[in-house]
Structure 1
Amino acid sequence: MNYIQALILAIIEGLTEFLPVSSTGHMVIASSFMGIGTDEFVKLFEVAIQLGAILAVVVLYWKKFFDFSKWQFYVKLIIAVIPALFFGFLLNDFIDNTLGNPIFIAVVLLLGGIVLLFIDRFFQKPTIHNEQEMSNLTAFKIGCFQVLAVAFPGLSRSAATIIGGMQQKLSRNAAAEFSFFLAVPTMCAATGYKMLKGYHLLNADNIKLLLFGNAVAFIVAIIAIRSFITFLSKHGFRVFGWYRIALGIVILALYFANVPMTIN
Structure 2
Amino acid sequence: MISRTSHSNGAQSPEVVGFYDKDTGSIQYLVTDPDTRKSALVDVVMTFDPESAATSSASVDAILRFAESEGCEIEWILDTHPHADHLMASSYLKEKLGKPNAIGEKVKDIAELWRDYYHMPDAFDPDQDFDHLFADGDTFKIGNLPVRVMLSPGHTLGSITYVVGDDAAFVHDTFMQPSVGTSRCDFPGGSAAELYDSLHSILDLPDETRLFVGHDYEETPAWEATVAEQRRHNIHIGGGVEKNAYVQRREARDKTLALPDRMLHVLQMNLRAGRLPDTEADGASYLKIPLNKF
Using the size of structure 2 for normalisation, the TM-score is 0.27
Which protein has the bigger helix share? 1
Which protein has the bigger strand share? 2
Relative CO higher for 1 or 2, CA cutoff 8 Å, sep ≥ 6? Answer: 1
